[in-house]
Structure 1
Amino acid sequence: MQHLAVRHGLNPVDLRALQFLGAVDDDRTPKELGGYLEMGTGAVTALLDRLTRQGLLDRVRNPDDRRSVRIELTLDAVAVLGSVRAAYRGVLESAVAPESFELFIDFTGRMADALRAAARSDEPED
């Protein structure tokens, strides 16, 4: 993953942040990103500042709560993620037999869903 990040002028944490932000259609908050990356507010702010300067994300006011900020990926960030996903897919296609590829993708998707559900059940209630 590091070489893919470097190819796009990013470090691995930057790329993980973009992947997290690009994994859902909804915008995320800095707090959600910090929780995912296990980073404090100062480190998240520095990360967001860096990615904003690189033109990869925008901070926008939450229309439902003007005190909070949402994070939106830019088209440049979407292009970076597309390139990274294509590289991952190429590696997978070369490692998994064509007749097993769709089964493998289905399995990994189900596994990811199960792991997310398990992680949510371990989170303390607010």
Structure 2
Amino acid sequence: MQHLAVRHGLNPVDLRALQFLGAIDDDRTPKELGGYLEMGTGAVTALLDRLTRQGLLDRVRNPDDRRSVRIELTLAGIAVLGSVRAAYRGVLEGAVAPESLELFIDFTGRMADALRAAARSEEPEA
């Protein structure tokens, strides 16, 4: 992962942030990003400042609550993420036999869902 990050002028945490932000078709909040990356508010602010300067994301006022900010990938951020995903796919296709690829993708998707569900069940109640 580090070589992919470096290729795009990023560090591994920057790349993880882009992957998190690109995982769903909805904007995220700085708090959600910080929770995912296990970073405090100061570190998240520095990360967002850095990625904004690089043109990879924008902070957008939440139309439903102007006090809060949402984070969205820019076209440049989407392009970087697409390049990284293509590199991952190339590695995967080289490592898994074509006849097993669909089964592997299905398995990893179900595993990711199970891990997310387990993580949610371990979160303390508010």
TM-score interval (norm. to shorter): over 0.9
**Structure 1 residue 37 displacement after superposition:** 0.4
Q: Secondary structure at the match of 1:69?
A: strand
Residues 76-102 of structure 1 deviation map (CA, whole Å, 9 limit, x = unaligned) = 010001000000000010000110000
Which residue matches 1:24? Answer: 24
Residues 10-60 of structure 1 deviation map (CA, whole Å, 9 limit, x = unaligned) = 000000000000001110000000000000000000000000000000000
CA distance in 2, matches of 1:55, 1:26: 19
CA distance in 1, matches of 2:98, 2:60: 43
Q: Where does structure 1 lack aligned partners over 5 or more consecutive residues?
A: none
**Structure 1 residue 125 displacement after superposition:** 1.6
CA distance in 1, matches of 2:79, 2:60: 20
Q: Secondary structure at the match of 1:24?
A: coil
CA distance in 2, matches of 1:36, 1:107: 23
**Structure 1 residue 124 displacement after superposition:** 1.2
Number of positions where the alignment pairs a residue of Structure 1 with one of Structure 2 = 126
CA distance in 2, matches of 1:5, 1:18: 10
Q: Secondary structure at the match of 1:3?
A: helix
Which residue matches 1:115? Answer: 115
Runs of 4+ in 1 over 6 A off after TM superposition: none
Q: Secondary structure at the match of 1:104?
A: helix
CA distance in 1, matches of 2:101, 2:81: 21
Q: Secondary structure at the match of 1:55?
A: coil
Task: With the length of structure 2 as denominator, give the TM-score of the two structures.
Answer: 0.99
CA distance in 2, matches of 1:7, 1:105: 26
**Structure 1 residue 107 displacement after superposition:** 0.3
CA distance in 2, matches of 1:113, 1:25: 17
CA distance in 2, matches of 1:77, 1:99: 33
Q: Secondary structure at the match of 2:9?
A: coil
CA RMSD of aligned residues (A): 0.5
